[in-house]
Amino acid sequence: MIVDCALYRDGRRQNEGLLALDRAAAICAETDGFVWLGLFEPNPEELADVQRRFGLHELAIEDAQNFHLRPKIERYDEGAVLFTVLRTARYVEELEEVEMGEVSVFLSSRFVITVRQGEASDLHGARLRLETRPEFLKEGTGAVLWAIFDTIVDSYAPVVEGLERDVEEVERTVFSGAAAPTERIYLLRREATEFYRAVHPLLGPLEALERGAYLKVSDELSQFFRDVNDHIKLVNEEVVALRDVLATILQANMAVISNQQNEISVRQNETMKQLTLVATIFLPMTFITGFFGMNFGWMVRGIDDLWTFAVYGVGTLVVSALIIFLWFRRSGHIGTS
C-alpha cells in the first residue's frame, strides 16, 4: 500500500496530495529534485510494479519482502542505488513486550523508496519534520536517510526505558529473597537479545555514513549523522548492560529457587525423622501389646490381679519406651541442639 509519494525540489514539497506512481517514476528522469515514495506492507505485485518503474535490483526487492532481516547497507547498480535495512522497535505498555518492525530503504540521487513492515515502523513523523526544515531537504536524498535513521534510533530510547523497568521489577523480586517466574526472565532476555540484534549491526554503517563512505554529504549533515551515531552507541551499551544484568538475575533466581527447594527438603527430612522416631518407639510397644493380648492359658490364669498386670503389662511398655528413648538420646537422634 502506498502511504505517501511526493516530489521535493529546492527544499520544498511540490505536490499537496499523493503523487501518482507512474508520474513519480517519470519525474525522476525528467526534472530536478527527488521523489520520496513510502510503502507499507506492500504485496508482491505492488513491489514488482515499483521495481519495474524505478529499475530496482531483484535481490534488494527480495530482501524488502522478507521480515526479520539483519540491519545492513548494500550497494546496487554500481553504487548508484543504496539499499538499507533497519529494524524498528516499540515498547507496548499493555503487554510489557517489545514489538519489532522493519524498514527497507532504496536510495539514489533521484528517489527514496521506503518499505515498512510491521506497526512499529512509522516514518510519517520523519517526513513531517524534514518538510519543516527546507535547508535539510536541499541536501537531497542523504537528508532523508538521516531523518529515517534519526527517527528510528530515537524510538529506541522508550524501548530501553521499558526494558529497564521490567528488569528492575524482576531484580527487586529476586534480590528480596523471593523467586521470580523463570519464564519472565527468559522472555526479557530474549527481547533484549532481539533488540541487541537490531541495534548492534548499525554501529558500523553509521560510522561509515558519518565519514561519507556511502554518500557524499556536507559537513553539516555529517555532524547530524555523528549525533545519530552517538545515540546508537549509547543504546548499544545500555542493551549490553541489560543482557548482562538479566544473566546475573537468572543465576540469582536459580540460586533462590535452589535454596527454597533445599529448605523444603530439610523440612521434609526433619518430618520424616520425627515420624521414624515415633514409629520406632511404638514398634516394641506394639509387639508387647500384641503378645499380652494372646489368649494363652498360663497368661490368662497367671495375670489375675492389678499388680501383676501393672508389672507385666504396663511395666514392660514403659521399660521398652525408656530403653528406646535412652538409645535415641545416646546415638544423638534426640536431645541435641
In this predicted model, what pLDDT tens digit does every residue of 57-82 receive, in sequence order?
Answer: 988 888 888 776 688 899 987 778 99
Tell me if 134 is assigned to some domain: yes
How high is the pLDDT of residue 64?
87
Q: For strand 34-40 and strand 111-117, is the pairing parallel, antiparallel, or unpaired?
A: parallel
- 244 with 191, same domain? yes
Tell me if 265 is assigned to some domain: no
Q: Model confidence at 331, in pLDDT bands (50, 70, 90)?
A: confident
Burial grade of 32 (CB within 10 A; 0-12, 13-18, 19 or more): exposed
Tell me if 232 is assigned to some domain: yes
How high is the pLDDT of residue 146?
93
Where among 226, 258, 290 does a domain terminate? 258
Which tops the pLDDT comparison, 306 or 104? Answer: 104
Q: Is the pLDDT of residue 337 over 90?
A: no
Residue 136's CB is within 10 A of a number of other CB atoms, namely 20
How many whole angstroms separate alpha carbon 9 and alpha carbon 28? 11
Q: Give CA separation, 157 vs 150, 153, 199, 203, 335, in Å.
A: 12, 8, 11, 16, 63
Instruction: Give the list of residues 6+ apart from residue 54 with CB closer than 8 angstroms, or none.
Output: 25, 28, 106, 111, 113
- 217 with 156, same domain? yes
CATH of the domain at 147: 3.30.460.20
Tell me if 114 is assigned to some domain: yes
- 318 with 232, same domain? no
pLDDT tens, position by position, 186-224: 889 899 999 999 999 999 989 988 888 888 888 888 899
Tell me if 264 is assigned to some domain: no
- 195 with 278, same domain? no
- 190 with 49, same domain? yes
Domain count, the chain: 2
- 184 with 277, same domain? no
Query: Given the C-alpha cell 519495474, which residue does it identify?
Result: 52
- 217 with 150, same domain? yes
- 163 with 233, same domain? yes
Burial code (b: 16+ CB inside 10 Å, e: under 16) for 215-248 equals bebeeebbebbeebbebbeebbebbeebbebbee
Beta-sheet strands, E only, within the chain? 2-9, 12-13, 34-40, 72-76, 81-92, 97-107, 111-117
The amino acid that residue 208 corresponds to is A
- 291 with 182, same domain? no
- 70 with 215, same domain? yes
| Residue numbers of the domain that contains 289 | 272-331
Four-residue CA torsion sign, 129, 132, 136, 138? positive
Where among 258, 286, 303 does a domain terminate? 258
Record the cell numbers describing residue 250, joined without a space: 537468572
Q: Give CA separation, 334 vs 269, 270, 273, 326, in Å.
A: 14, 12, 10, 9
Radius of gyration of the chain (CA): 39
Q: What is the mean pLDDT of residues 141-155?
A: 93
pLDDT tens, position by position, 263-315: 777 788 778 877 777 777 777 777 777 766 666 666 666 666 677 667 766 77
Q: Is the pLDDT of residue 179 over 60?
A: yes
Q: What is the pTM of this model?
A: 0.76
